[in-house]
């Protein structure tokens, strides 16, 4: 069977059934690692044997303590706290070069750097709209444009911990968006517009990536409990990725969500782990909706 037809399960180094982890040896990038969902994704990738994870944050130095926490739990995974501007093309290129120079490979790129923005059009300025598009769709565009070239590189086994050879072209780009990617009403206009654009990057990426061995998929979370209290909540959404779960009362959640509760960041992280691994080897261009069934029950629900 030719290299282009070989699926991941037929390579010992990419089998999701490896006893040492379905992501053993992978070199990964996760943006928005200082947000709850991004941090949960970093944790999930480390739990399944990734060799290295660039945990990209927007602050320098980062106040994120994820690196030290995971070092104790998963000592064989190198978690690098990496300051990164999601709107910088040069930062993207520099990060890719650093990963290749240090590890010789790049396997997974997760864009989890979304931005909520203001809840109404009256409150939305052109700058707000620009910021949302940069966070929600420009960052995935840079990943689609530049990461696949690095992901196609193969390499022998390195000398670092959790090293594995990369014997065929492989890559997974994962765009964390929102259920606002498919309908409106869950927050303000710029969140909906830019989330639709993020899904557009994923849809257009399927044709772009033909023949490369690289896949691209979206995750659209619904109501996720990101640990934000409404007490002191910035209603303009300038520092949040998803609406606070507290915007819906427990009674409203029970009525409008199939599983009768808000989701957890780690439940989004598990889907990212699936899309990063060989378990999803025939999935590309998909939008994995992680909302507890809310969009099926009431697709135009407005949080209250």
Which of 94, 83, 33, 76 lies closest to 59 in space, CA to CA? Answer: 83
Model-level pTM greater than 0.85?
Answer: yes
pLDDT the model gives residue 296: 85
The whole-angstrom separation of Cα 51 and Cα 40 is 17
Kindly list the averaged pLDDT for each block of 10 residues, start to end, along the chain of length 304.
Answer: 51 84 97 94 98 88 73 95 94 98 98 91 94 94 98 96 94 96 87 96 98 97 78 61 76 89 95 97 97 77 43
Cβ pair 279, 287 in contact under 8 A: no
State the Cα–Cα distance between residues 90 and 71, nearest whole angstrom: 29
Q: How far apart are CA 151 and CA 55, in angstroms?
A: 18
CA dist 24 and 108 (Å) reads 12
Classify each residue of 32-62 as buried b or exposed e, where b means 16 or more C-beta atoms within 10 Å of its C-beta. bbbbbbbbbbbbbbbbbbbbbbbbbbbeeeb
CB contact set of 210 (below 8 Å; sequence gap of 6+): none
Q: pLDDT tens for residues 76-106?
A: 999 999 999 999 999 999 999 999 999 999 9
Q: Output the pLDDT for position 135.
A: 92
Q: Is 264 exposed, middle or buried (0-12, 13-18, 19+ CB in 10 A)?
A: middle
What local confidence, expressed as pLDDT, does residue 126 receive?
95
pLDDT at 1: 44
Continuous H helices in the chain: 36-47, 66-73, 89-103, 126-133, 139-151, 189-208, 250-256, 265-276, 294-297
């Amino acid at each position: 069977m030719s290299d282009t037809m070989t699926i991941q399960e037929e390579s010992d180094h990419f089998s999701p059934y490896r006893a040492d982890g379905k992501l053993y040896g992978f070199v990964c990038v996760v943006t928005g690692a200082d947000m709850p969902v991004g941090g949960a994704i970093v944790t999930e990738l480390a739990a399944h044997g990734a060799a290295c994870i660039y945990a990209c944050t927007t602050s320098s130095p980062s106040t994120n303590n994820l690196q030290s926490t995971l070092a104790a739990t998963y000592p064989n995974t190198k978690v690098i706290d990496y300051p990164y501007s999601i709107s910088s093309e040069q930062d993207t290129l520099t990060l890719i070069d650093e990963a290749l120079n240090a590890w010789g490979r790049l396997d997974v790129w997760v864009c989890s750097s979304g931005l909520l923005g203001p809840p109404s059009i009256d409150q939305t300025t052109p700058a707000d709209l620009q910021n949302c598009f940069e966070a929600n769709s420009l960052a995935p565009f840079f990943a689609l444009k530049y990461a696949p070239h690095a992901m196609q590189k193969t390499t022998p086994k390195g000398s670092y911990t959790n090293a594995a050879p990369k014997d065929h072209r492989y890559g997974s780009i994962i765009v964390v968006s929102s259920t606002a990617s498919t309908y409106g009403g869950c927050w303000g206009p710029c969140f909906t517009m830019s989330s639709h654009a993020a899904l557009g990057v994923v849809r257009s990426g399927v044709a772009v990536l033909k023949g490369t061995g690289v896949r691209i998929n979206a995750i659209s979370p619904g109501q996720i409990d990101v640990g934000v209290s409404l007490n002191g909540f910035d209603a303009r959404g300038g520092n949040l990725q998803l609406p606070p779960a507290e915007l819906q009362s427990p009674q409203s959640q029970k009525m409008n969500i199939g599983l009768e509760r808000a989701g957890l960041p780690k439940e989004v992280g598990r889907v990212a782990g699936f899309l990063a691994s060989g378990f999803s080897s025939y999935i590309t261009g998909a939008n994995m909706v992680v909302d507890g069934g809310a969009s099926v029950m009431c697709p135009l629900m407005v949080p209250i």
